[in-house]
Copies of this chain bind each other. A is one copy, B any other.
Amino acid sequence: MAITRFGISLEKALIERFDSLIRKKGYANRSEAIRDLIRDSLVMEEWEAGNVETVGTITLVYSHHTRELADTLTDLQHHYHTAIISAMHIHLDEHNCLEVLVVKGKGKDIRKISDRLIGTRGVKHGKLTVTTTGKHLK
């Protein structure tokens, strides 16, 4: 993997505040922290484009007492099985479940699946998180 090294100029007062922020966040050094800011801006752009293959996680919290909800979620997941590559189920307490699905596909398709799942009756809270296949984020 080819590494490029280049210089950047920053006002002293600015980089001092940044150093203090990244120390608090546990970064080893500036390059690491700046790399993360750069990657995050690229992931956002990828996602907004809508047509690039990307990866997301869909987080759902629901009560397993809601009749037929588990069945509906399972049906939906099978319907979209080519996109949903994995799922994890957690028993938060005796009533509440959390399910995290990992989804791969074009941004706009992932959003569609997410909307369908979050909109299912009985889902208390749902969130779509966008990340990346990692392929183009060397």
The yes or no answer to A67 lying at the interface (CB within 8 A) is no
Q: Are B38 and A134 in contact (CB under 8 A)?
A: no
Partner of A13, one of B28, B133, B138: B138
The yes or no answer to A124 lying at the interface (CB within 8 A) is yes
B-chain residues with CB within 8 Å of residue A93 when the two chains form the complex = 133-135
Partner of A38, one of B14, B24, B35, B100: B14
Contact size range, A: 35 or more
The digit string for A29-61, where 1 denotes a CB below 8 A from any CB of B, is 011111111111111010000000001010101
Q: Are B10 and A3 in contact (CB under 8 A)?
A: yes
Chain A residues proximal to chain B, CB less than 8 Å:
1-15, 17-18, 21-22, 24-28, 30-43, 45, 55, 57, 59, 61-63, 85-86, 88, 90, 92-93, 95-98, 100, 102, 104, 115-116, 118-121, 123-127, 129-138
